[in-house]
Amino acid sequence: MQAIRSILVVIEPEHSESLALKRAKLIAGVTQAHLHLLVCDRKHDHGGMLGVLKAALLADGYSVTTEQAWNESLHETIIDVQQAEGCGLVIKQHFPDSPLKKALLTPADWKLLRHCPCPVLLVKTAHPWKDGVVLAAIDVGNTDLEHRHLHNIIIDHGYDIASLAKARLHVISAHPSPMLSSADPTFQLSETIEARYREQCRAFQAEFDIDDQHLHIEEGPADVLIPFMAHKLRAVVTVIGTVARSGLSGALIGNTAEVVLDAVESDVLVLKPQEIEDHLEEVVARH
């Protein structure tokens, strides 16, 4: 996060108080990143509002530019501008469709999270970050290169957010329940599974300097445990990653992440490994 030089902030004109801009100011205040404010609108009639926002931000010492754009759809417009401006982070507020769908993400949000080549921070709540908990979700049991690389990215960003928000970083890793049919005896007993995970976690803890109080290893499905732990710890930000499970063509967010994103009552930072970001950039460039 410290390396991000430019942040794309999606501004929704019909909502007077932009929580996305609030988060962007907090991050840019520490990292000195440039803010590029974007209104996605066909008519381009929000120049006055953007002018007011820009003047206020400049007066507060921020580096800022503004733009109104539209290309086919909301997510495509955001990604086109992100690429053109070279932004290293997109911040967008999530607005629920209706009370019935209050928690569920909109199709536009999903498409943005799936296709955007850079990290996306989706702002879901107005809770202040200061003195809160940042929850980083990883899969310690997966030690292949792609997952290890993703763990590094998740923990680094988790620490960065915790540092700039004066918050505390907690880490959760879910592990599978015992499988009596498993050929490997270590997968048949809950105790041996947890012991094996604890061992893998020790190396991880040593590498990232995370003590036992801030590491939560739980048995069960990640899509249930991550929202549960986020709620229990009252997390203000949940950091999750996604990997391509079937080559780069499968660089979509997996089912676990999709359920987690809808279920957590916190802001969510979604990260992808570098090779997926590169692949998505290529896809965008071809269109």
pLDDT for position 34: 97
Class of domain 133-286: alpha beta
If you count them, how many residues does the chain have?
Answer: 287
Binned at pLDDT 50, 70 and 90, residue 99 comes out as low
What CATH fold (topology level) applies to the domain 6-123? Answer: Rossmann fold (3.40.50)
pLDDT at 48 over 70: yes
User: How many Å apart are CA 36 and CA 8, to the nearest integer?
Assistant: 5
- Please give the radius of gyration of the chain, using alpha carbons only, rounded to the nearest integer: 20
**Residues 178-218: tens digit of each pLDDT:** 554 445 555 455 567 667 777 778 888 888 889 989 999 88
Q: Which of 43-47, 54-58, 244-248, 266-270 has the lowest mean pLDDT?
A: 244-248
pLDDT for position 180: 46
User: How many Å apart are CA 220 and CA 217, to the nearest integer?
Assistant: 10
Residue 15 falls in which region: left (phi positive, over 0), alpha (psi -120 to 50) or beta = beta
The mean pLDDT of 250-254, rounded to a whole number, is 48
Confirm if 91 and 121 have CB atoms less than 8 A apart.
yes
The mean pLDDT of 78-103, rounded to a whole number, is 84
CATH 3.40.50.12370-classified regions of the chain: 6-123, 133-286
Share of the chain above pLDDT 90, in %: 48
* pTM of the complete model: 0.87
**Residues 150-170: tens digit of each pLDDT:** 888 999 999 999 999 999 999
